[in-house]
Amino acid sequence: MPPTVPALTIGAHEIWPPVVLAPMSGVTNRTMRALYKPFGFGLTVTEFVSSNALKYGSKRTMEMIDQHGIESPVSTQLWGDDPATMAAAARVVRECGADIVDINFGCPAPKVVKTNGGSACLRDVQRCEEIMRAVVDAVDCPVTMKMRLGWTESDLVYIDVAKRAQAVGVQAVTLHARTARQFYRGEANWDHIARLKDALDIPVIGNGDLDDARVAVDRMRATGVDAIMLGRATLGNPWLVSQIRDLLEGREMQATPTPADRLRFCMVHYRTMVDELGEARAVPQMRKHVALYLKGIPGAAVLRERIMRTPTADESLALIQGCIDRLESDASLAA
């Protein structure tokens, strides 16, 4: 079937499907990106990285921008408030293989905004412009930017900042349709995303509250955005992305997998994390992922609690396998 919308074009990159994995701290490492990309992400983004940390060559930070290669193209997202430091960081991540450099004007986390990074930059639109110009001038790859509507409801600066982005050479803008002060409360207002699309000539990527495939595609078509970005809704549910891809490619969307099949993929995710990170790091990181794969499964609360206290990968995997066995036994009895 022919695609129902065009591919997303950013510089020399033609991205299909026009579905982007959002940068999420402590989540979108190279393992997760490689596991989730085949479900239908055309573009994946690294965890957001501190430009100051890159300046000092932090080992942990260098791991955050590492790639497998199989998840290409990859965008590396940077945050900070100093144009020169952001430019230097952009050169580093480009040398380390970033296909696209993304600027973070969207993160509302206290640890980021207390240093005037992320969405706090929106309090000074001139500083935003200086950062974007410095990064564009520093690298030979496309530069994009992600932002929120503004710092508060009374100071919505997104169109101003986006027009400045376009003027200095930024090649695509993502808008999360909440203010920084909203954090993740309330509903994302997609009317603002439609207004931004009307105001710009460069691609616009819409983000916020895309937890249903049909709703996501309907919002994409209604606003005319060039792509959508998904984050928290895909955690434990990468099949949402496959359903969106099906609809964008003109097919009936596939059914949501059974709880047992979801947990089988959870075990693949768990084992891959252990293989790549080692058990000591993988076990605590996988606790949050397992909790999300368990969402909506009968008896999940008890199992989540046990997983949170389980110190080894083998014990955790045995608990998950036990849940799969129980689910399949119950299904067999019901049939």
**Catalytic positions, written as ranges:** 107
Instruction: Name the helix (H) or strand (E) containing 317.
Output: helix 313-334
Residues 160-172 as b/e (b if ≥16 CB within 10 A, e otherwise) read ebbbbbbebebbb
Instruction: Name the helix (H) or strand (E) containing 272.
Output: helix 259-277
Is it true that the peptide bond before 17 is cis, omega within 30 degrees of 0?
Answer: yes
Question: Token digits for 332?
Answer: 């067999």
Contact 120, 151 (CB under 8 A): yes
- Name 17's Cβ contacts closer than 8 Å, sequence gap at least 6: 3, 40, 41, 42, 244, 245, 248, 249
Q: What are phi and psi of 163, to 5 degrees?
A: -65, -35
Residue type, 52: N
Give dist(CA 193, CA 144) in Å, integer.
Answer: 16
Give dist(CA 21, CA 13) in Å, integer.
Answer: 16
Contact 56, 90 (CB under 8 A): no
